[in-house]
Structure 1
Amino acid sequence: MNVNVKFLGGSGAVTGSKYLIDLGNFEFLVDCGLFQGPRELRARNWDKFPMPVDEMEAIVLTHGHLDHIGYLPKIVKQGFRGPIYCTEATAELAKILLLDSGKLQEEEAEYARKKGYSKHEDPQPLYTMEDAEAVFPLLVPQPFETPFSISDRVKVTYYYAGHILGAAIVKIVIQGDQQTKKLVFSGDLGRYHDPIMYPPTRIPKADILWIESTYGDRKAPTNKPEDELARAILDVFDRNGLAIIPAFAVGRTQLIMYHLYQLMEKGKIPKAPIFVDSPMAIDATKLYLDFHKDHRLSAMLEDDDQHAFKHPNLHYFQKQEQSMSLNEYRGKAIIISASGMATGGRVLHHLFHHLPEEKNGIIVVGYQAEGTRGRRLLDGEESVRIYGIEVSVKAKIYQIEGLSAHADQDELMDWAEGFCDKPKMTFVIHGEKESSEALAFKLKSEMGWNVTIPQYLESFVLFEGI
């Protein structure tokens, strides 16, 4: 039996992860991500899939971010009907994120139609909310650390990867005619000292390894981000101002909620109202309660009435009217709202109403891509355009670093050192060119590994005659 791989995404870029494993009579996909970012990458979402989707037997997911699951509605729309395996938390997270993605696709198509900027006369969404819902019956949730079969020759096991709730390292054991081989996909690895997520599990052996390289060329700041967060909030509160925190709904919002709770309980910041104004973040936070064994806060959550996700100062705002009521709020309070880069979502009307006041503060807690409102705020622009109006930036802008959910270079190398034997081949994936090359160099020079940086649509023979 021969085993091949084709890189349909997640190679040469930090997006669109898709890896097609071909055993001859059984083909399956590891991850099924949406291309995001620059237009030339997003255009790939519209390309014809490079094989008949009904010939694929299964899909195995690492975790629930859209760059790993966001193409699922499209592939199901094209006719895929096989099982989609994932961890239990990822199954629930996928439902939230895919529905939201379908809604955004519909809204973007409608906006393009209305404004007439599309090259198509009648622009269509990549997929709809209805297409997203068609994915749900195909999801097959699996527990961590429990092998399961996806064919008579292939067994899969999920291990904790950290990163976000439900994120997994995937070990795939292939039973050949002569030999058994192990494939290991790192997925996206988290930080070793993340206060919420478990550290990535060390895997002792792999014949072929796929390792992510998002931060393969850099080291995380050694600061204590919670202390910087406290200083920023104290500064805002000294002016009797309102602190607005744009934060991604999954992972970053829950981390900020944890730090704020700890800071208030330890008396490092005053106890003040915290408004979580993001329906998706609220739904995601419920999953942290449902899947409390999948993270490190289970002991904290045993106290039903007082913990990071439920305490007297915390207020969840699901309804639009509740959100709008904060427009006129004055005084010491904290608003956490999506989106994390201020590209859309409810955070926009908070910025619209509160940016022009000097006493307020905008606390940036995540990466801000070039061209986003969040980046323009960090760059010190005097005004930003919101709802078609130039809004004066008088509020003070703060940046808190060190909150990333991705392992840095040292942590990636630490995880790699957990292997007892050198993999026959290691693919460095899911990174920009500089990041992948930096990690590949270290793996080669310090560990003597056989390392390859694959390119988009490139194929490799993994094993022959096993």
Structure 2
Amino acid sequence: MNVTAKFLGGSGAVTGSKYLIDIGDFEFLVDCGLFQGPKELRERNWDKFPMPVDQMEAIILTHAHLDHIGYLPKLVKQGYRGPIYCTEATAELAKILLLDSGKLQEEEAEYARKKGYSRHEDPQPLYTMEDAEAVFPLFVPQPFDKPYSIHPRITVTHFHAGHILGASIVKVVIQGDHQTKKLVFSGDLGRYHDPILLPPTPIPKADILWIESTYGNKKTPTTKPEDELARAILDTFDRDGLVIIPAFAVGRTQLLMYHLYQLMEKGKIPKVPIFLDSPMAIDATKLYLDFHTDHRLSAMLEEENEHPFKHPQLHYFQKQEQSRSLNDFRGKAIIISASGMATGGRVLHHLFHHLPHEKNGVIIVGYQAEGTRGRRLQEGEPTLRIYGLDVPVNSKIYQIEGLSAHADQEELMEWAEGFSDKPKLVFVVHGEKESSEALAFKLKEELGWNTVIPQYLESFVLFEGI
């Protein structure tokens, strides 16, 4: 039996993760992500899928971020009807994120049509909310740490990866005619000392390993991120300004809520209104109450009257009119809103209205992919194009490194060192060129690993005659 892999995304970029595995009589996909960031990447979402969809028989998801699940509605729209395996929390989060993604794409297409700034006469969404809902019946949720079968020759196990609620490292065991082989997909690995999420599980053996490299060339500063966060907030409040924090609705937002609650309780920042203006983030936060064993906050959340996700300063804004009421807000407050890279969502309205004012502050708290508005803010561009207009960036921009949900280079190496045997081949994926190259070099030099940085649509024979 031969086993091959084809890279349909997540290679040469931090987006669009899709890895197609073929064992001859059975093809399955690990992750099914949306391409985000630069236009040339986003346009791949509109390309014809590079294989007949009806030939693919299963999908396994590592976690629920859109760059790992966001293409599912398009794939189902094209005819995929097989099972989608993932952890229980991932299935619930995916429903929230995919519905929101469909809604945003509908809204953006409608807005572009209304304002006439699309080059298409009748701009269409990639998929709709209805398309997203069509994915839900295909989810087959699985518990952590318990092997399950997707084919007579293939068993799969999910292990905790940290990163976001429900995120997993996926181990795939393939029983050949003569040998058994193990494929391990890191997914996105979290931090070892995250105050909310569990650390990545060490995996002892893999024949072939996929390892992410988002921060493959970065080391997180040793300063405490909550102290940096407090400094940025106090600096903005000294100008009587408003703080805007673009944050991913899942993971980053909850970590920010935790830190802001702690800072207020300890008297390190004043008790001011915190507006969580993201329906998706609000829905995602509720899941932390449902999946107590997937995180470290269970003791805190037992304090029913007040905890990081429920206290007098925290205001959940679900409705559009509540969001719009913040357009003219002046004074000390904190707005947390998605999307985390300012690629869409309600945060664009807040940036549109508040970026021109010098007294305000925008705090960047996570990875900003190349070509996104978040990256442009990070790099100090004087204007930001929002809704077809160039908005002057007069607010002060702050960067907080330590709040990332991704393992840095040292943590990626720490996880890699947990393998007792050298994998025969290691694919360094899900990173921009410099990050992937830096991690691949370090793995080769320090651990003696055989590393490869695959390219988009590149194929590999993993095993022959097993």
Q: If the length of structure 1 is used for normalisation, what is the TM-score? A: 0.93
- The alpha-carbon distance between structure 1 residues 261 and 321, as it changes in their structure 2 partners (threshold 3 A), is same
Task: Label 1:15 to 1:390 Cα distance change in 2 as closer, same or farther (>3 A).
Answer: closer
Structure 2 CA distance for partners of 1:271 and 1:423, relative to 1, 3 Å: same
Partner of 2:225: 225
1:431/1:81 Cα in 2 relative to 1: closer, same or farther (>3 Å)?
Answer: same
CA distance in 1, matches of 2:65, 2:41: 17
Q: How does 1:178-327 map to 2 (within 5 A)?
A: 178-327=178-327
Could you tell which deviates more after superposition, 403-412 or 118-127?
118-127
Instruction: Tell me the residue number matched to 1:91.
Output: 91
User: For residue 50 of structure 2, what is the aligned residue in structure 1?
Assistant: 50
Q: Which amino acid counterpart does residue 441 of structure 1 have in structure 2? A: F
Q: Distance in 2 between matches of 1:208 and 1:277?
A: 42
Q: Which residue of 2 aligns with 1:77?
A: 77
Alignment match, 1:443: 443
Give 1:82-231 correspondences, 5 Å limit.
Answer: 82-114=82-114, 121-231=121-231
More divergent stretch after superposition (104-113 vs 49-58): 104-113
Query: Which residue identity lines up with residue 194 of structure 2 in the other structure?
Result: D
Supply the distance in 2 between the matched residues of 1:72 and 1:129 (Cα, whole angstroms).
12
Q: Tell me, in whole angstroms, the C-alpha distance in 1 between the residues paired with 2:72 and 2:21.
A: 17
Structure 2 distance, partners of 1:147, 1:339, is: 34
Q: Post-superposition shift, 1:70?
A: 1.0
Whole-Å separation in 2 of the counterparts to 1:463 and 1:380: 48
The 8 Å contact of residues 38 and 372 in structure 2, kept in 1 or not, is answered as no
Distance change >3 Å, CA 436–CA 385, structure 1 → 2: closer
Distance 1:290 1:119, change over 3 A: same
Task: Give a deviation string over 1:373-404, Cα, whole Å, max 9, x none.
Answer: 44454455565555566655554333222211
Compute the displacement of 1:332 (Å).
Answer: 2.8
Kindly tell me: are residues 215 and 390 of structure 1, through their superposed partners in 2, closer, same or farther at Cα, counting changes over 3 Å? closer
User: What CA RMSD, in Å, does the superposition of the two structures yield over aligned residues?
Assistant: 2.2
Corresponding residue SS for 2:327: helix
Q: Is the 8 A contact 2:37 2:372 kept in 1?
A: no
The verdict on how the C-alpha distance between 1:375 and 1:78 changes in structure 2, with shifts beyond 3 A counting, is closer
Give SS of 2:427's match. strand
Q: Is the 8 A contact 2:28 2:59 kept in 1?
A: yes
What SS is found at the alignment partner of 2:259?
helix
Q: Distance in 1 between matches of 2:328 and 2:225?
A: 30
| Residues 464/405 of structure 1: CA separation in 2 closer, same or farther (3 Å cut) | same
Structure-1 separation of matches of 2:57 and 2:386: 46
* Deviation per residue, 1:329-349 (Å, 9 max, x gap): 343322212233334332334
Moved more, 377-386 or 441-450: 377-386
State the one-letter code of the partner of 1:299: A
1:111 positional shift? 4.4
Pairwise CA distance, 1:82: 0.6
Which amino acid in the other structure matches residue 306 of structure 1? E
1:122: Cα distance to partner? 4.1
Q: Aligned AA for 1:251?
A: G
Counterpart-to-counterpart distance in 1, 2:54 and 2:109: 28
How many Å separate the matches in 2 of 1:430 and 1:371?
Answer: 16
Amino acid at match of 2:447: M
User: Quick one: distance in 1 between partners of 2:306 and 2:351?
Assistant: 30
Corresponding letter in the other structure for 2:262: Q
Write the distance in 2 (CA, Å) between the matches of 1:440 and 1:44: 26
Question: What is the CA distance between 1:270 and its match in structure 2?
Answer: 2.0
Amino acid aligned to 2:438: A
- What is the SS of the residue equivalent to 1:434? helix
Cα distance in 1 between the residues matched to 2:180 and 2:372: 48
Tell me, in whole angstroms, the C-alpha distance in 2 between the residues paired with 1:376 and 1:455: 26
One-letter code aligned to 1:449: W
Looking at structure 2, the residues matched to 290 and 278 of structure 1 have their Cα atoms a distance apart, in angstroms, of: 19
Number of the residue aligned with 2:332? 332
Larger mean CA deviation between 151-160 and 50-59 belongs to 50-59
Question: Quick one: which amino acid aligns to residue 438 of structure 1?
Answer: A
**Counterpart residue number, 2:40:** 40
Task: State which drifts further: 134-143 or 44-53.
Answer: 44-53
366-375 or 45-54: bigger deviation: 366-375
Deviation, 1:167, is 0.8
Deviations 1:211-259 (A, max 9, x none): 1111112212222110011112223333443322222212111111110
Describe the shift of the 1:302–1:11 C-alpha distance in structure 2 as closer, same or farther (beyond 3 A): same
**Closer, same or farther in 2 for the Cα pair 1:347/1:115, shift >3 Å?**
closer
| 1:5-31 Cα deviation digits (max 9, x unpaired) | 111111122211111111111111111
Question: Which residue does 1:417 correspond to in 2?
Answer: 417
Alignment length, in residue pairs?
Answer: 466
Counterparts in 2 of 1:453 and 1:396: CA distance versus 1, 3 Å: closer
Q: What residue identity is the alignment partner of 1:208?
A: I
| 8 Å Cα contact 2:366-2:405 kept in structure 1 | no
Q: Do the aligned partners of residues 342 and 60 (structure 1) sit closer, same or farther apart at CA in structure 2, a change above 3 Å counting? A: closer
User: Mean Cα displacement is larger for which, 215-224 or 356-365?
Assistant: 356-365
Distance in 1, matches of 2:216 and 2:192, equals 15
Out of 353-362 and 35-44, give the one that drifted further: 353-362
Counterpart secondary structure, 2:169: strand
Contact 2:37 2:371 in 1 (8 A): no
Shift of 1:130: 1.1
Relative to structure 1, is the Cα distance of residues 450 and 323 closer, same or farther in structure 2, using a 3 angstrom cutoff?
same
- Is 101-110 or 350-359 further displaced after alignment? 350-359
Q: CA deviation at 1:76?
A: 0.8
3-state SS in 1 of match to 2:461: strand
| 2:348 pairs with 1:348 | yes
* Residue 90 (structure 1) shift: 0.8
- How many percent of aligned residue pairs carry the same amino acid? 85
Q: Cα deviation per residue 1:77-104 (whole Å; 9 max; x = unaligned)?
A: 1111110001111111111111122223
Q: Distance in 2 between the 1:6 and 1:387 partners? A: 37
Q: CA deviation at 1:205?
A: 0.7
In the other structure, the counterpart of 1:67 is 67
Q: Tell me which moved more, 361-370 or 397-406.
A: 361-370
* Cα distance in 2 between the residues matched to 1:389 and 1:112: 12
Residue of structure 2 equivalent to 1:460: 460
